């Protein structure tokens, strides 16, 4: 008997922002696997299940165990925060299965359950910063050389993309975001709006609204559960919100209104 493998995104962690399907497959599963922090986000849903908790950097072991358990007949949920297809475990699961010659049509049943990613949840908290084209970049150089990350950042800066930064800093990794800031200042004004969101929709949530010039003074708000949103040339702030114009006013010639609270 072959089981099932669900790769589940539980969003930012609060159950109000978890999809119905995510809760459904977790309930169906008899086995839960995941990084300990992510497993703790769904603790109240998995009380009567077999749970395998992993430390960070054990992703390969996690992937193999999920696949082996599912092949043995278990119904397995591999849980991730956010969306498992965005810097999550979905890619590694598929890579591992592909190496075995797995056939998705008649082999092990695998299903990705999408979740609200940090870019969605954080943007919703600080306004409407992602209304035009944006780029998402991770500052973690464990798997990608820093030179490549720098090249991607500069390309996004040249293209005037709003930039969402995942994993902006850690205890051992402190220069990346500052190097990124220096790169961006070649193309953007020091007053470009920046939002730093830490622990979105969790009890530890903190929000800082600042700009490129003053970003270094908020380094204490950075960490692995922080997301940084950097505006483009059109982004402005209004009463502690970031707004990125979609372009409706210019297209439909809507009446312009002068508002002293608007800061570009």
Model pTM score: 0.89
What is the pLDDT confidence band of residue 202, given thresholds at 50, 70 and 90?
confident
Does residue 155 share a domain with residue 55? no
Q: Across-strand partners of 193? A: 211
CB-based burial label for 5 (10 Å; 0-12, 13-18, 19+): buried
Mean confidence (pLDDT) of the chain? 91
- Residue given tokens 């960490």 in the structure block: 223
C-alpha span between 169 and 219 (Å, rounded): 9
- The string of pLDDT tens digits covering residues 76-118 is 999 999 999 999 999 999 999 999 999 998 889 999 999 999 9
Q: Is the pLDDT of residue 64 over 90?
A: yes
Question: Does 230 fall in a domain?
Answer: yes
C-alpha span between 250 and 245 (Å, rounded): 10
CB-based burial label for 145 (10 Å; 0-12, 13-18, 19+): exposed
Question: Does 264 fall in a domain?
Answer: no
* Domain final residue pick, 99, 116, 133: 116
Does residue 126 share a domain with residue 245? yes
Does residue 102 share a domain with residue 55? yes
Domain that holds residue 55: 4-116
Pairing of strands 4-9, 109-113: parallel
Does residue 252 share a domain with residue 126? yes
Q: Is the pLDDT of residue 148 over 90?
A: yes
Does residue 138 share a domain with residue 57? no
Q: Is the pLDDT of residue 240 over 70?
A: yes
What is the pLDDT confidence band of residue 166, given thresholds at 50, 70 and 90?
very high
Pair of tokens at residue 90: 């979905």
* Domain final residue pick, 55, 84, 116: 116
CATH of the domain at 253: 3.30.950.10
CATH of the domain at 50: 3.40.1010.10
In whole angstroms, how far apart are CA 225 and each of 82, 169, 201? 11, 9, 11
Give yes or no for a contact between 126 and 242, defined as CB atoms under 8 angstroms apart. Answer: yes
> 143-148: long-range contacts at Cβ-Cβ below 8 A with a sequence spacing of 24 or more?
146/176
What is the pLDDT confidence band of residue 162, given thresholds at 50, 70 and 90?
very high
Give yes or no for a contact between 9 and 22, defined as CB atoms under 8 angstroms apart. Answer: yes
What's the pLDDT at 55?
Answer: 83
Does residue 110 share a domain with residue 124? no
* Domain final residue pick, 66, 101, 116: 116
| Number of domains comprising the chain | 2
């Amino acid at each position: 008997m072959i089981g099932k493998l669900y790769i589940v995104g539980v969003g930012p962690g609060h159950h109000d922002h978890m999809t119905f399907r995510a809760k459904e497959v977790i309930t169906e599963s008899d086995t839960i696997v995941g990084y300990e922090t992510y497993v703790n986000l769904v603790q109240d849903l998995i009380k009567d299940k077999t749970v395998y908790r992993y430390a960070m950097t054990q992703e390969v072991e996690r992937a193999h165990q999920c696949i082996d358990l599912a092949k043995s007949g278990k119904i397995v949920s591999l849980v991730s925060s956010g969306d498992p297809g965005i810097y999550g475990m979905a890619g590694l699961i598929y890579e591992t299965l592909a190496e075995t010659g797995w056939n998705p049509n008649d082999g092990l049943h695998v299903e990705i359950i999408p979740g609200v990613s940090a870019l969605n949840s954080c943007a919703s908290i600080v306004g409407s910063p992602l209304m035009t084209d944006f780029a998402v970049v991770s500052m973690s150089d464990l798997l990608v050389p820093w030179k490549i990350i720098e090249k991607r950042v500069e390309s996004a800066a040249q293209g005037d993309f709003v930039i969402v930064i995942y994993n902006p800093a850690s205890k051992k990794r402190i220069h990346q975001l500052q190097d990124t800031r220096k790169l961006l200042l070649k193309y953007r004004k020091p007053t470009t709006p920046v939002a730093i969101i830490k622990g979105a929709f969790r009890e530890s949530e903190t929000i800082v609204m600042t700009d490129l010039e003053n970003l270094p003074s908020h380094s204490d708000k950075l960490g692995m559960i922080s997301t940084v949103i950097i505006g483009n040339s059109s982004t402005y702030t209004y009463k502690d919100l970031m707004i990125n114009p979609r372009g409706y006013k210019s297209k439909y010639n809507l009446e312009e209104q002068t508002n002293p609270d608007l800061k570009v």
